[in-house]
Chains A and B, each alone.
Chain A
């Protein structure tokens, strides 16, 4: 029988959906682990990112962290944690949280770093303290990039969690791994479709959420910007006056371009 038919047969079998290892239970486990991982990462990354961004430094540190974790394979971290005695979902949450930190951190740092210096000056001029300026002026202006960071991080975690099935975590990835183990390729394909669908749906929902949390004023601003100019040059890299915007001798410069794209695009593939 054709593999695609097998996959649909598998998806159509109600027994595969219910029960302790059914699709529904596994989806719930998958989403629970992901949410926990994102929350854990947010608790660590957001305060640090906000502080660094508010102080106006830490840009390079963020880039270094982001690049190191990009090179560290997810599987390596998962097997390392699992082998050191943390089995199952604790290891999954920890490992995924590590990979969600860079997008959140860079979202916070670039979001606050891109706040217009004049706006900051004005806030100080009206007598706001640093904390108040951060809370009621800079933070709302940074919301779009903060939200983009959260979105990238969350989708990345959702995509990483399936890998944990290899080291014994329960998630939709278990279906794929079990399918490979039993050489049931219909089930493998069905699991792959389910995981992909979950990620795409989450990405869509989070995009809507990102739109909703953006303050109305900023939305109007970006609409105006889009209708008048064709497209804003990507932050400070294209619009600068330096002729052939080359990488300077700072080794991190070219990567900084790439990671700044990242904060509103997608993170590293997992």
Chain B
């Protein structure tokens, strides 16, 4: 990055002080949108992943459809959605959920299928039914993979929210675009740094929760 003229610096504390309310609004919009999208996608992905695991015949088309959705660029998806869901929050949210869904379903499925067959056999031998097996044995075993999926989905959702700028609801992307329009370097850089920080914080929080959820991972070291 080359040094900018002093009148238009990339980093400016003054900008942050003067526009703190504006920046905070954008950050809040960004954060709530991300959390809402990931929570919704997770609530959808858990049953869908379990269904795909229990009924493998349904699994392949489910992953196929999700894969096709994933290939469609976000700009195109927002463009296709916008005429129906309007310009604003709903469009962005629907798009974000669609993208987070594939990552989550795939990781739930990988986690459930990665359970050691011997463990599954043991549970079945103890008289566990299919549903109880899923809920009390397979699901806890799949937690590491699910947490990895959540981290991935959250980080990419944070980045993706910015594209919402095309429908006027892009959180920090809004700042980036405005900064670009008015050629205000500090605004772009502030929004970018905040985006990266938000992604990092979310990632660390989810990783921490994942560690708390799998105490056995800390005590028993894999040989």
Contacts and interface: CB of A to CB of B under 8 A. Distances in A.
A16 interface: no
A212 interface: no
Interface stretch (B13-21, B44-52, B124-132, B145-153): B145-153
B2 to A, nearest CB: 7
B168 to A, nearest CB: 9
Contacts of B196: 71-72
Nearest to B2: A84
B210 A247 contact: yes
Contacts of B144: 244-247, 254, 257
Contacts of A3: 83-84
Tell which of B68, B75, B149, B159 has the most Cβ of chain A within 10 Å. B75
B221 A162 contact: no
Interface in A247-261: 247-249, 251, 254-255, 257-258, 261
Nearest to A244: B141
Contacts of B145: 254, 257
Contact of B76 (A162, A180, A186, A244): A162
B207 interface: yes
B156 A268 contact: yes
B200 A189 contact: no
B154 to A, nearest CB: 10
A235 B5 CA distance: 51
Interface of A is mostly: helix
A195 B114 CA distance: 36
Nearest to A164: B75
A257 B148 contact: yes
Contact of A246 (B79, B195, B222): B222
A122 interface: no
Given A244-B217, A248-B221, A254-B151, A155 B158 contact: no
Interface string A133-165: 000000000000000000000010011101101
Interface in B112-133: 113-114, 116, 119
A191 B148 CA distance: 35
A123 to B, nearest CB: 31
B223 interface: yes
A195 B116 contact: no
B62 interface: no
Nearest to A266: B70
Given A188-B79, A266-B67, A199 B73 contact: yes
Contact of A192 (B77, B170, B188): B77
Nearest to B100: A269
A83 to B, nearest CB: 6
Interface in B148-205: 148-149, 151-152, 155-156, 158-163, 165-167, 170, 172-173, 176-177, 179-180, 183, 185, 188-189, 191-192, 195-196, 199-200, 203
Contacts of A158: 73
A242 interface: yes
B: contact size bracket: 35 or more
A42 B103 CA distance: 26
Contacts of B173: 73, 75
Contacts of B180: 79, 82-83, 167
A40 to B, nearest CB: 19
Contacts of B102: 266
A233 B113 CA distance: 9
A241 B218 CA distance: 17
A24 interface: no
Given A76-B176, A268-B156, A71 B195 contact: yes
Contacts of A247: 144, 147-148, 210-211, 214, 217
A200 B159 contact: no
B72 A189 contact: no
A83 B179 contact: yes
Contacts of B189: 80
Tell which of B102, B155, B179, B216 has the most Cβ of chain A within 10 Å. B155
B110 A177 contact: no
Contacts of B207: 251, 254
Q: What 4 A-B pairs are tightest by C-beta distance, nearest first?
A: A246-B217, A192-B79, A242-B222, A159-B73
Given A163-B73, A199-B73, 5 more contacts: A155-B71, A238-B113, A251-B207, A254-B147, A269-B74
